[in-house]
Amino acid sequence: MNLKQIAKDTAKTLQSYLTYQALRTVLAQLGETNPPLELWLHNFSSGKIQNGESFIEQLLREKPDLALRIMTVREHIAEEITEFLPEMVRTGIQQSNMEQRRQHLERITRIDTSNPSLQPEQQATSDPNLDNLSN
């Protein structure tokens, strides 16, 4: 397990996600101030946002002012969330793991009541009075 590579991949994924969130913010702002430009950016970004850096590079060639705006918003979002993000991720994973384990334990310990043929056998083996009758 290469933890350094995992960290790099995670950071890249987070960076792309923050680019997406910045795009959503800018689209909402443009929707109020410049609907034609909002439509253009929406159409331009369709299918391109999975890789945030590639998206920014393409947008810089087409409309540098929009790319710079998205980069500024993305940077602001990153500054605001990085302080508490690590603890939120750890806590979220711990809670999710605990819930998944609980559900798994419930599934594997659940008695199947939909099959009535199993119930008499279970009662017969667990009823000590029935054992005495066979003697």
Which CATH architecture describes the domain 9-81? Orthogonal Bundle (1.10)
Write the pLDDT tens digit of every residue in 63-77.
999 999 999 999 999
Position 135 scores a pLDDT of 47
First to last CA, the chain: 62
Burial 37-63 (b: 16+ CB within 10 A, else e): bbeebeebbeeebeebeebbeebeeeb
Residue-averaged pLDDT of the chain: 87
Position 115 scores a pLDDT of 59
Please state the rounded mean pLDDT for residues 18-25: 97
Please state the rounded mean pLDDT for residues 109-131: 57
Confidence class for position 52, pLDDT limits 50, 70, 90: very high
Contacts of 43 (CB under 8 A, 6+ apart): none
Residue 115 corresponds to which tokens in the numbers above? 């099959």
User: Where along the chain do its domains lie?
Assistant: 9-81
